[in-house]
Amino acid sequence: MKMTSKRILLINPNSSTSMTDGLSTLLKEMNRNGTTSSQIETYTAPSGPSSINNEDDALETAKIVLADLELRLSNYDAYLVACYSVHPLVGMLRKKVAPHVHVTGIFEASISTSLSLLPLGSGSSYSRFGIVSTGTYWEKALSKGVKDFLEVDDLKSCKRFKGVETTGLNAGELHTAPPELVRRKMMEATKRLVKDKDVRVVILGCAGMAGLDTIVEEALVEELGDDAKYVHVLDGVKAGLGMLESFLRALPPKKK
């Protein structure tokens, strides 16, 4: 008997269709490479901010999306919130659908995946993860998010987290600003993050960075030379979809 594929909704909680187009392009690439086994659909918020630039934007978009999806929540087996922040929609959706449906955000998924890629034991080289994100606001906001996620008192004493470097561009500008400017800003932020040769995983800290991993790879080679081979570039959307598919296989949602 043939099993039906699971349905995952990939949520862009802002109202930018160009952002969703970027996610759709990423999905097509993943499908060509055979890295997905689920039926994945994209969703764009029907209104609200076109770019989530602070926590107020995040809360506003969470309320809009939850209200819009309220009557369709039973249509999917899992949800991925594609905003690189501690987005309140993740918790709101979990309260509505858990334990029957899996929910995660690209922030949570990328950190969990990064930790599994780091070497064990003190003294290991290239033993930390770090984040390349958009506007400078996110340097403190994402650092606090990591601190809370890891449940540590002081990030300075955390040997696993390197920090956050930002491009100064917002999420929308990643696809509307001149390509050469985006490339330069992305490369500069990446080089600042890895210059001490202790970062094993560079996380793309924005859903709008989907497809920009080649720029980060180029920056790694310029900054680290042959050592660039030791560093993973992690797309939060790919990490989130991979995690949800693993959950659906290993932890089937509990029946209602």
Q: What is the pLDDT of residue 2?
A: 44
**Edge-first strand listing for the sheet containing 128-133:** 161-166, 128-133, 199-204, 232-235
pLDDT tens digits for 153-206? 999 889 999 999 999 988 878 878 899 999 999 999 999 999 999 999 999 999
Q: Structural domain boundaries of the chain?
A: 7-107+238-250, 108-236
- For residue 240, pLDDT beyond 90: yes
The DSSP annotation for 149-184 comes to: HHT-S-GGG-SSEEEEEE-S--TTHHHHS-HHHHHH
- For residue 43, pLDDT beyond 80: yes
CATH 3.40.50.12500 for domain 7-107+238-250: yes
- For residue 113, pLDDT beyond 80: yes
pTM of the predicted model as reported, rounded to 2 decimal places = 0.93
Q: What is the pLDDT of residue 37?
A: 81
pLDDT band at 1 (very low <50, low <70, confident <90, very high): very low
- For residue 121, pLDDT beyond 80: no
Q: What is the pLDDT of residue 111?
A: 97
Q: What is the pLDDT of residue 175?
A: 76
Instruction: List, in order, residues 6 or more apart from 187 with CB less than 8 Å away.
Output: 215, 216, 218, 219, 222
Nearest alpha carbon to residue 58 among 43, 68, 45, 77: 45
Q: What is the pLDDT of residue 3?
A: 53
pLDDT tens digits for 46-90? 999 999 989 999 999 999 999 999 999 999 999 999 999 999 999
Nearest alpha carbon to residue 135 among 178, 169, 163: 169
Each as own residue / partner, the long-range contacts of residues 24-29 (CB below 8 Å, 24 or more positions apart, any chain) are 25/210, 25/211, 26/210, 26/211, 26/235, 26/237, 26/238, 29/211
Q: What is the pLDDT of residue 172?
A: 79
Q: What is the pLDDT of residue 123?
A: 61
* CATH code of domain 108-236: 3.40.50.1860
Q: 7-107+238-250 with 108-236: one CATH topology?
A: yes
- For residue 125, pLDDT beyond 90: no
pLDDT tens digits for 2-35? 456 899 999 999 999 989 999 999 999 888 887 7
Quote the mean pLDDT of the chain: 92
Q: In terms of pLDDT, which residue wins out, 227 or 252? A: 227
